[in-house]
Amino acid sequence: MIYDKEYVINTMLNLLKTPSPSGDTEKAMTLVENYFKELNITTKRTIKNALIATIEGKDDSKHRTVSAHVDTLGAMVKEIKDDGTLKLSQIGGYAWATIEGEYCTISTLDEKEYTGTILLDCASTHVHGSKVNDTIRSADNIIIRIDEKVKNKKDILDLGINVGDFVYLDSRTQLTQSGFIKSRHLDDKACVASILGIAKYLKDNNITPEYTTHFFISNYEEVGHGSSASIPSKTFEFLAIDMAAPGKGQMSSEYEVTICAKDSTGPYDLEFRKKLVSLAKNNDVNYNIDIYPFYGSDASAALRAGHEIKHALIGPGVDASHSYERIHLDSIDATVSLAILYIVNK
């Protein structure tokens, strides 16, 4: 299947450079919206500011919705300490140790931005000795050292920084010659870029989907309610495209698409899964089937919210998820291929 792979890579890299923690996603959402508009695909925003792009199908009596989420992990300023450092409140689920040493940006309500570094409050071994190794990282001792001449709380407030300001984690994105992308926030910007590649393939080849198809770009998935509302009313099948989780005891791979059978919310629809497996088998798409014990998706959020739909989940393998992540282009290719096959078949 020939689709514009360079387009997928470039849109992914642009998205990864655009901060969008849950709750502060407008810049990334506008970027995605503009990509859809360039493809002459109709879009609309929901009240929650999710994005829905729609391509009319051969059959408009029932619809398919395909989702990915543009929101990512991040943080907010929780407290301004007397020494001029900042304590954090997490956005999304991650271990504090995974962000230690990361560069970051604080974004204020009046749109000023300040850089800093996330550190343990006893980071220096020359000062604190073995305490650096012995300390369990937590919300109580992980702080931001801001790159400004500040000595106390007043100095921070004078900059315009306050509690509730968003903190962006630097993505540090790299594309290697061997086809890996190393970056924070591949969950789920790799899949948003994949959806844009799918949409471009349909448009470039003048392909009409079997059913009217909505591309639902959610903006609160990392906090659990991304697609809990505003799913188009005629939707009978909901396919979430989100990262697969390779690791010990898992079947997921960085080089294939994974079809999820079950996550922490329960099993995905069996008939829908069989359909996806059959499409992969019959078209030589490399795939795995896996179960994720600590995972939920936009599809499972839709079910919990009471939507009566068949739900499924596929995605490319993202190593070290919710840490400094890595993905291979082979896995993205398999994911895009399977999703296209699904959209153009009954």
List active site positions.
221
| DSSP-assigned letter for residue 8 | H
Angle 186-204/329-344 helices, nearest 10 degrees?
50
Residues 42 and 45: their CA atoms lie apart, in Å, by: 11
* Interhelix angle 270-282/329-344, nearest 10 degrees: 110
Please report, as a single letter, which amino acid is at residue 26: E
The H helix count followed by the E strand count for the chain is: 9, 18
Q: Which of 238, 243, 293 is nearest to 269 (CA)?
A: 238
CA distance 287 to 276: 10
Two structure tokens written together for 133: 């190794």
The CA distances from residue 151 to 117, 145, 165, 295, in Å, are: 16, 11, 19, 41
Beta bridge mates, 63: 212, 235
d(CA 155, CA 158) in angstroms, rounded, equals 5
